[in-house]
Amino acid sequence: MTSLRSGISRRHFLGGSLSAAVAGLATTSLPQKVKAQEPVFASPLAALKPPETLDEAYWWKIRSQFNIQDGLTFMNTGTFGPPPRVVLDEHIKIQRELSEDPRNNYRSSELHDHKAVLAEFFGADTDEVAYMRSTTEGMNNFAHGIDFRAGDEVLMCSHEHPGGYGAYQALERRVGIKIHYIDLPIIPESPEQVVELYERAITPKTRAIVVSHITFITGLLTPVKELSEMAHRRGLLISVDGAHPPGMIDVNFHDIGCDHYAAAGQKWLLAGTGTGLAFFKREVQDEILPLMGADGHEEDGEWVLHEDASRYEHCGQRHISSALGIKTAVEFQKTIGKANIETRVRELATRLQNGLTEIPGVRLQTCVDPHLGAGLTHFSVADVPMNNVRQGIMDLGRIHIRTSSRGDVSGCRASTHFYNMPEEIDELLRCVRHIAEHSADYM
C-alpha cells in the first residue's frame, strides 16, 4: 500500500538543518528523510531551557533529544514513552559503574537523596514517596495493605485498568469484599456529574474509592481533587491510579488531597521500563500494611517498620539504573517546565480532536472539555474494525497508535506528547480520512 508520507528525520532538525526545518513548518508535507550521519548525543539540560516565548524551533530542538527511528511517528506514550537521550545515557552510566565496581549495588543513599527531587516535582513530602516498579505494583501495595473484612465494598468505575482493579478482584475472591462498579458516560456532561455518580453509589459498607486520574480507555480526566474531598467528607479512603498524568499534566499530590497515588515512570514521564513511584499520605501510612514483607530495621531484637513510605519498597533486588534514572527524567521535564509540557500536550491533542470531528464517519470518544481531557484521544471509524484502522494507519503513514476497548467503548487511542510535532498530527488525520473515505478497503 502506498505511503501518504515521507517520514520525519530527527537528524534533520539538528545543527544548520534546524532553521530550514522550521522554515518549512507551514507546508503540508513533512521534511524529507535524511540518511544517518554522525552519532547524535544528548544536549546538556542547560541548553534545553525554554526561551521566553516558545516557538516551533524550540519544540524541534526538544524532539532532537529522542532516538525515535527516522520515518516513524510514535503516538503510544500511553503505553510506553521512549526515554530521551539524557535518561538513556544515565542508565548506561550507572550500569557501567555497577559493572566496574559492584560493591555498592544497592545505591541506597542515592535513592534516598533523589526522593527530595521527586517529592518536590510531584508536590509531596519526601517521607510520603516510595519507589515502585510500575503503577500496578503501587496499586497493589495500597489495596492489599487495607484491613478489609468480608462484605466491605470498594467503589470504582467500569473503565478502570486491570492494574488497578485486579488487586481488588483478588480480594473479592480471597476476603469476600464486593466491588461496586458504576457506569460513567463515555463523555460526561461536567466534572460535577462525575462526582455525583460516585457519591450516589456509596453505601454504608463502602470503605474506599478507586479511581483513575486519567482513564486508559477514553482519556477522561477525572476530577480527583473533588472526589478526594467528597470521599473524606464521607469517611472513605481514596486511591488514585495515576498511570498517565505524571509527565503529561502538572500533578500535585498534596493539592489533589488523595490518600494514595500510584504513578508510572515508563509512560509520560519518559523514565524507562520498570519504573514508577507511589504516594502514601503520611496520615494513612499506619493503616496500610506493606505488600511484600515489611521493609524496616531491627531494633532491640525486634523488626520495626520504617517510619515513612519506604516501608512499601521491599521487593528484593531493584533495577538500580532504572530507579536512579527517574531523577534524570524529572530534571529533563523540569528544564522544559511542567506548565509548558501540559500546554503543548493539550495543543496537540486539541489539534487532533478538532480534526477528527471534521472527518465523516469518525466518532470521537474523548471529551474535548479541557476540564475532562488532556493528552489521550480515543476514536473509531464507522464499520471498520479497530485493528484494521490501527494497521491501516501504520501502513499508510508509519504512525504507531494502539487499540483499546472496555465495555461499551472500542476503538483506537492516540497519545500526543511534547515530542510529537504538529505535522505528525496532520499526517495522522490524513491517514484516518483516507481510511474513512475508503472504508470498504479496510473491512
Residue 301 has a pLDDT of 85
Model pTM score: 0.91
Three cell numbers at 223?
476530577
The span from the CA of 226 to the CA of 209, in Å, is 12
Cβ neighbours, 10 Å, residue 297: 10
Report the Cα 308 to chain-centroid distance in Å: 25
SS3 labels along 75-98: CCCCCCCCCCHHHHHHHHHHHHHH
What average pLDDT does this structure show over 27-56? 69
Cβ neighbours, 10 Å, residue 344: 22
What is the secondary structure of 124-157 as a DSSP string?
--GGGEEEESSHHHHHHHHHTTS---TT-EEEEE
3-state DSSP assignment of residue 84: coil
Q: pLDDT-derived band of residue 13, with 50, 70 and 90 as boundaries?
A: very low
CA nearest to 143, candidates 169, 180, 176, 161: 169
pLDDT digits (tens, 9 = 90+) for 159-188: 999 999 999 999 999 999 999 999 999 999
Residue 36 has a pLDDT of 36
The span from the CA of 282 to the CA of 309, in Å, is 8
pLDDT at residue 281 is higher than 80: yes
pLDDT digits (tens, 9 = 90+) for 297-353: 788 888 888 889 999 998 888 999 999 999 999 999 999 999 999 999 999 999 999
pLDDT digits (tens, 9 = 90+) for 91-137: 999 999 999 999 999 999 999 999 999 999 999 999 999 999 999 99
Q: What is the phi-psi region of residue 411: left when phi exceeds 0, alpha when psi lies from -120 to 50, beta otherwise? A: left
Angle at 264 between CA 320 and CA 73, to 5 degrees: 105
Three cell numbers at 354?
478538532
Residue 305 has a pLDDT of 82
Rounded to whole angstroms, the maximal C-alpha distance in the chain is: 75
pLDDT digits (tens, 9 = 90+) for 416-438: 999 999 999 999 999 999 999 99
CA nearest to 379, candidates 404, 400, 397, 398: 404
Three cell numbers at 239?
486511591
pLDDT at residue 369 is higher than 70: yes
pLDDT digits (tens, 9 = 90+) for 373-387: 999 999 999 999 999
Please list, in sequence order, all residues whose beta carbon lies within 8 angstroms of the beta carbon of residue 231, skipping any fewer than 6 positions away.
Answer: 209, 237, 238
Domains of the chain, first to last: 11-83+337-442 (3.90.1150.10), 88-334 (3.40.640.10)
Among the listed ranges 268-282, 290-304, 409-423, which one has the minimum average pLDDT value?
290-304
Three cell numbers at 350?
486539541
381 and 410 Cβ atoms separated by less than 8 Å: no
pLDDT digits (tens, 9 = 90+) for 191-246: 999 999 999 999 999 999 999 999 999 999 999 999 999 999 999 999 999 999 99
Q: pLDDT-derived band of residue 7, with 50, 70 and 90 as boundaries?
A: low
The span from the CA of 318 to the CA of 106, in Å, is 8
